[in-house]
Structure 1
């Protein structure tokens, strides 16, 4: 398994960041009642965002798995069936470059070695120790489900989903903000939490 280099200072900083994330999560105020039914505002929002074929973003990433945890920064360019994602350590070192196309997935590690697999989730689990659901994430990060499998959701009164469950992942959303994206302005989540079994991911958008 590819091991991310974690100097002592980084380890202490990551532990502090994860502790802060945990404390923040525990201290959030109660959410208003949620609806299990999509209203007209929800349907219109989903239709608009489902048409989005490309975006780019920068985000902070926190990962917890198998009793381990660390923080990172990522840069992600998505265009149709192709993704480029760079993952950086808190000190700015590129840890991994993920390139996904409709035909293949390649992860280039910090030593420049390329690794291949049929999907990103299995490749990141083998090399990094945790699963990154990149295929579904390109829709989930916009606050909508993808159309390849069934899902369950709960919705805010304003129409955005508060939670999604799809492909055995549970996704929770916070901090929706009106955001300009590809010539339109739509409400997008700025904090997204994902959990599947022992893997927990938290993405905090810095820039769309």
Structure 2
């Protein structure tokens, strides 16, 4: 699966479990949270309109995955635009273990051995090959701290108008911190730590570079 050998997820787990544990334990530190609002303010709506105009971005992030009692970490290099996604996943040692390429028609995952696997969507492909679902269709908006427009959602908001939580497509998304950054000439407050959970799958992305 998403391992040095995609057919042996436990081997990857043994190699990276200590790294995942460090990330998980760091997340256990509690800090006081500001009061939240369940209603989008004018600043929330303006922020949503601004970031909805972002159609392209590139980012590097740390990725932690937990499912079925297993924990993995990786580094993610993601290039996104409205028509395509290129997502490269690296081990903490810098070895590429998977390449995900999405087009308007299909998704291809190339494993470490160079074998290509195809499906109609990323979530089903990663669940089949890696054991956990990567919600790429929504993630391209969630990573910006906004919902995608294709389905209903619920949110709670920070005093500055940024979402503290989103619930959409049966995923719960939590944001730990925001920083001001620029993407393609658009400057906004962007989340730097994003947590996603659906049933037993938990993902954590920590932005290193936009």
| C-alpha distance 97-27 of structure 1, shift in aligned 2 (>3 A) | same
2 CA distance for matches of 1:117 and 1:20? 34
Secondary structure of the corresponding residue to residue 26 of structure 1: coil
Call closer, same or farther: CA 1:119–1:9 in 2, change over 3 Å: closer
Q: Does structure 1 conserve the Cα–Cα contact (< 8 Å) formed by 2:2 and 2:12?
A: no
Alpha-carbon separation, structure 2, partners of 1:66 and 1:23: 18
Query: Is 1:168 matched with 2:167?
Result: no
Q: Secondary structure at the match of 1:46?
A: helix
Query: Equivalent residue for 2:180?
Result: 178
Change (3 A) 1:206 1:158: same
Aligned to 2:18: 16
**1:3-60, CA deviations, whole angstroms, 9 ceiling, x for partnerless residues?**
6137999756632222222222221212111000000000000001001110000000
Residue 77 of structure 2 corresponds to: 75
Find 1:100's aligned residue among 99, 102, 125: 102
Q: How far apart, CA to CA, are the structure 2 residues paired with 1:31 and 1:13?
A: 34
The CA RMSD measured in Å over matched residues stands at: 1.8
1:115–1:148 distance in 2 versus 1, CA, 3 Å: same
Q: Secondary structure at the match of 2:27?
A: helix
Matched, 1:116 2:115: no
Q: Which stretches of structure 1, 4 residues or more, deviate above 4 A after TM superposition? A: 6-13
Give distance in 1, aligned partners of 2:12 and 2:114. Answer: 22
Could you list the runs of 5+ residues in structure 2 that have no partner in the other structure? none
The answer to whether the 8 Å contact 1:10/1:90 transfers is: no
Instruction: Find the aligned partners of 1:17 and 1:198 in 2 and give their Cα distance.
Output: 20
Aligned to 1:128: 130
Q: 2:4 aligns to what? A: 5
Q: 1:36 aligns with which of 22, 38, 41?
A: 38
Aligned to 1:207: 209
From 47, 50, 63, give the equivalent of 1:48: 50
Structure 1: which 5+ residue stretches go unaligned?
A: none
Report the number of matched residues.
Answer: 207
TM-score of the pair, normalised by structure 1: 0.94
